[in-house]
Structure 1
Amino acid sequence: MKITFLIHNVYGIGGTIRTTLNLAAALADHHEVEIASMLRHREHPRFSVDPRVTVVPLVDIRPDSDDSADPRLHQPAEIFPAAEKRYGQYSRLTDLRAEEYLRTCGADVIIGTRPGVNVYLARCGPPRALRIAQEHLTHDTHSKKLRAHLARHYRTLDAVVTTTQADADAYRAKMRLPGVAILAVPNSVPATDIPPADGTARVIAAAGRLTRAKRFDLLIDAFADVTAHHPDWSLRIFGTGTDKDRLQQLIDNHSLGKQATLVGSRSPIEPEFAQASIVAVASDAESFGMTIVEAMRCGVPVVSTDCPLGPAEIIHDGLDGRLVPVGDRKALADALLDLIADEGTRRRMGQAALDTARRYDPGPIARTYDELFAELAASRRSRARQRRRALWRSRFHRPARIGPSS
Structure 2
Amino acid sequence: MKRMTRMTSRAGRRKIVFLLHNAYAIGGTVRTTLNLASALAERHDVEIVSMSRHRAEPRFAVDPRITLVPLVDTREGSADLADPAYAREAVDFPVADKRHHQYTRLTDLRARAYLESCDADVVIGTRPGINVYIALGPRRALRIAQEHLRHDAHAKRLRTVLARHYRDLDAVVTMTGADAEVYRTRMPLPGVRVVSVPNIVPEVGVAPSDGTAKVIAAAGRLVPGKRYDVLLEAFCAVAAKDPDWELRIYGGGAEKERLQGLIDGLGLAGQARLMGVRTPIEAEFAQASLVVSASDAESFGMTLVEAMRCGVPVVSTDCPLGPAEIITDRVDGRLVPVRDTRALADAMLDLVLDDDLRRSMGAAARASAHRYDPEPIVDHYERLFAELRAARPGRAWSRQRERARGWARRTVRAARRRLRAWGGGRRPELTGARTRTARET
Class of the TM-score when normalised by the shorter of the 2 chains: over 0.9
Question: Distance in 2 between the 1:9 and 1:241 partners?
Answer: 19
Question: Distance in 2 between the 1:245 and 1:100 partners?
Answer: 44
Letter in 2 for 1:82: V
Question: Distance in 2 between the 1:313 and 1:74 partners?
Answer: 44
Letter in 2 for 1:260: A
Aligned with 1:155: secondary structure?
helix
Unaligned runs of 5+ in 1: none
Letter in 1 for 2:325: E
Aligned with 2:168: secondary structure?
coil
Aligned with 1:319: secondary structure?
coil
Letter in 1 for 2:51: M
How large is the RMSD of aligned CA atoms in angstroms?
Answer: 1.4
Q: Which has the higher helix share?
A: 2
Q: Kindly, what percent of the aligned residue pairs are identical?
A: 63
Question: Distance in 2 between the 1:222 and 1:66 partners?
Answer: 52
> Which sits farther off after the overlay, 308-317 or 61-70?
61-70
Question: Distance in 2 between the 1:298 and 1:308 partners?
Answer: 24
1:182-261 to 2 correspondences below 5 Å: 182-261=194-273
Is 1:122 the counterpart of 2:135 in the alignment? yes
1:271-282 to 2 correspondences below 5 Å: 271-282=283-294
TM-score (norm 1): 0.97
Query: 1:101: Cα distance to partner?
Result: 1.3
Aligned with 2:135: secondary structure?
helix
Aligned with 1:182: secondary structure?
strand
Letter in 1 for 2:344: L
Is 1:359 the counterpart of 2:379 in the alignment? no
Question: Distance in 2 between the 1:265 and 1:57 partners?
Answer: 26
Match for 1:102 among 100, 111, 115? 115
Letter in 2 for 1:79: D
Is 1:325 the counterpart of 2:337 in the alignment? yes
Is 1:369 the counterpart of 2:369 in the alignment? no
Is 1:346 the counterpart of 2:361 in the alignment? no
Question: Distance in 2 between the 1:55 and 1:217 partners?
Answer: 39
Aligned with 2:95: secondary structure?
coil
Question: Distance in 2 between the 1:61 and 1:242 partners?
Answer: 24
- CA-to-aligned-CA distance 1:351-395 (integer Å, 9 cap, x gap): 110111000001110111011110000011000000011011111
Residue number in structure 1 paired with 2:437: none
Query: 1:67: Cα distance to partner?
Result: 2.0
- CA-to-aligned-CA distance 1:159-189 (integer Å, 9 cap, x gap): 0000001100011001121000000001110
Query: 1:268: Cα distance to partner?
Result: 1.0
Question: Distance in 2 between the 1:63 and 1:247 partners?
Answer: 34
Aligned with 1:247: secondary structure?
helix
Question: Distance in 1 between the 2:55 and 2:108 partners?
Answer: 21
TM-score (norm 2): 0.89
Aligned with 2:241: secondary structure?
coil
- CA-to-aligned-CA distance 1:74-130 (integer Å, 9 cap, x gap): 321111111111111111111111111111221110000011110111112x21100
Question: Distance in 1 between the 2:269 and 2:136 partners?
Answer: 52
Residue number in structure 2 paired with 1:286: 298
Query: 1:68: Cα distance to partner?
Result: 2.6
Aligned with 1:96: secondary structure?
helix
Residue number in structure 2 paired with 1:137: 149
Match for 1:47 among 57, 60, 65? 60
Residue number in structure 2 paired with 1:12: 25
Query: 1:10: Cα distance to partner?
Result: 1.2
Query: 1:272: Cα distance to partner?
Result: 0.5
Query: 1:397: Cα distance to partner?
Result: 4.4
Letter in 2 for 1:98: A
Match for 1:64 among 74, 77, 87? 77
Unaligned runs of 5+ in 2: 1-13, 426-441
Is 1:113 the counterpart of 2:104 in the alignment? no
Aligned with 1:228: secondary structure?
helix
1:62-101 to 2 correspondences below 5 Å: 62-101=75-114
Residue number in structure 2 paired with 1:382: 394
Residue number in structure 2 paired with 1:174: 186
